[in-house]
Amino acid sequence: MAAPVKSGSKFMLNGLCRWGGMAVVLLGLPCLAANEATANPAPMAMVVEEALQTATAQYEWMLAHLPDNGELPRTFEHGKLVTKLKRDWTVGFFPGSLWYLYAATAEPKWRIAAEHYTALIAAEQFNTRTHDVGFILYCSFGNGYRLTKQEAYRAVLLQGAKSLGTRFDPVVGSIKSWDRDPKRFTFPVIIDNMMNLELLLWAAVHGGVAGLREIAVAHADTTLRYHFRPDGSSFHVVDYDAATGGVLRRLTHQGAADDSAWARGQAWGLYGFTFMYRETHDVRYLAQAEKIAAFLMNHPRMPADKIPYWDFDAPGLPNVPRDTSAAAIMSSALFELARLTKGSNEAERYAGFAGDQLRALASPAYLARPGENGGFLLMHATGNLPGHSEVDVPLNYGDYYFLEALLRCRARLNPQS
C-alpha cells in the first residue's frame, strides 16, 4: 500500500464554526435553503461540480489538520474533533469519502490518502461482534477494490463477509444487530442492518463462502415481513424470540417514540431495499423501495427544502433539529432508484426529488465553507437525539452519502462518461 499521509499538528478549530441558539439556527434553515434552490437556480451540473470543488478543498483542510493518533474523524462536537478507531460503526466512512474524491477527480493524492486510512481498519474483517462490518468494510475496502482492483482489498472483503455471516440465525431468519444485555434485548434487529447486506451480496459473486446470498435474502425477507407499517414507514428495532423466531416487540432506540418515523431509519430502509432489487431483481424489493419512497416524498411534514426533521413525528415540530445525513442517504438512494426504474412514470420524480435534496445540501444553509465545521462537509445532522449525542453536528456518514449522491447525479447527467 502507499505511504501514510503526514498528519498535521494538534487539531484546533475553536471559534471558526458559527453556532447560534438551536431554535434560531433551525428556524432559519428552510428559508435559506429554499431561497437558494428556487431563486435563479444554477444548472444541476454546476451545482454538482461546485459542491465537489468545495468538498476537495474541505477535505484537503481536514487531512492537513487531523491529529496523528491513528484514528479516523467521526464528528465535530462541542468545539472538538471526535476521532475513533475500534468499536465504532462509522470508521469506514471517512476512507470511503476519500475514495469518492479519488473517483471524482482521478487525482493520485486522494488515492494515497484513501489507502492510508483504509489500511487502519483492516482488522475489522475479523470482527464478529457487530453487524456493522458491512458498513465498515464495504464503504472503505469496497470502494477501494472497485476503483483499484487490489487483490488484498478483495481478500479483506471476503473475510469480512464471512465474519458478518456468523451473526445470522436461521430460526429468526436475520442477522443479529447487537449483543446487548439479555434483560433488555433477546435478538434485536435494527432497520440500519439492511445496509450491511450489500457486502454479503457482493461477496457471494466474488468468491465468498457459500450461503452469503441466501443469508442476505433471508434477512431482507424477514425485515420486509416484520419491520414495516402499512404506510411504508418502519420501526427502528424489532426484538425477536431466538427460540421461535417470533416477534417479541417493536420499539425505537434513536427515534422519538416506538411508533414514530425516525428519519434516518426510513432512509436506511429505502437505500437497502433499492440495492436488494438491483442485486436480485426481485420485484418485491422494488415494490418496498417505492413504497418507502412514496412515504417520504409525500409526507406532509417533509420541509419545503426536503431536508427532513430528525423524526417525522418529533414533539415540537417544526422547531426541532434537521438531519442532513438522512437527506444525503435519501438523495443517493433515490438517484439509484430512478436509474433502476428508468422509463417508468416515477423515475423522473425520484430523480427530481433527489436533485432538490442535493441542491439544498449543496447550499450555504447546509454545506460548510472550507476550514469550518471541523473539516466536515455537511452541517446540521442529528445522530442520537434521545441519547443527547451528536445533535446539530457534522457526521462522517452524512459526508459519505452526500458525495455518493453527487457522483450518482453526475453519472445521471453524463451517462456516457
Residue 118 lies in a domain: yes
Residue 10 is predicted with a pLDDT of 30
State the catalytic residue, choosing from 132, 239, 305, 399: 132
Distance CA 43, CA 1 (A): 39
Q: Is-catalytic flag, 282?
A: no
State the catalytic residue, choosing from 88, 192, 323, 399: 192
Total Cβ atoms within 10 A of residue 78: 8
Residue 3 lies in a domain: no
What's 57's domain CATH number?
A: 1.50.10.10
Instruction: Count how many domains the chain has.
Output: 1
> Residue 41 has what DSSP assignment?
P
Enter the C-alpha cell of residue 204: 457471494
- Cα dihedral 131, 88, 236, 172 in deg (nearest 10): 20
Report yes or no on whether pTM surpasses 0.85: yes
Residue 9 lies in a domain: no
Residue 295: give the domain boundaries: 22-409
Residue 322 is predicted with a pLDDT of 98
Question: Which amino acid makes up residue 261?
Answer: A
Residue 49 lies in a domain: yes
Residue 303 lies in a domain: yes
Distance CA 161, CA 131 (A): 10
Residue 137 is predicted with a pLDDT of 98
Q: What is the pLDDT along the chain (417 residues), one digit of tens a residue?
A: 333 333 333 322 222 332 233 333 343 454 444 444 456 889 999 999 999 999 999 999 999 999 999 999 999 999 999 999 989 999 999 999 999 999 999 999 999 999 999 999 999 999 999 999 999 999 999 999 999 999 999 999 999 999 999 999 999 999 999 998 888 899 999 999 999 999 999 999 999 999 999 999 999 999 999 999 999 999 999 999 999 999 999 999 999 999 999 999 999 999 999 999 999 999 999 999 999 999 999 999 999 999 999 999 999 999 999 999 999 999 999 999 999 999 998 999 999 999 999 999 999 999 999 999 999 999 999 999 999 999 999 999 999 999 999 999 999 999 887
Locate cell 454538482: which residue?
Answer: 48
Distance CA 406, CA 367 (A): 13
Distance CA 227, CA 264 (A): 15
Residue 339 lies in a domain: yes
Give the model confidence (pLDDT) of 146-187 as tens digits: 999 999 999 999 999 999 999 999 999 999 999 988 888 999
Residue 183 lies in a domain: yes
Q: Is-catalytic flag, 305?
A: no
Give the model confidence (pLDDT) of 283-342 as tens digits: 999 999 999 999 999 999 999 999 999 999 999 999 999 999 999 999 999 999 999 999
Residue 11 lies in a domain: no
Distance CA 93, CA 302 (A): 27
Query: How far separated are the first and last CA of the chain, in Å rounded?
Result: 28
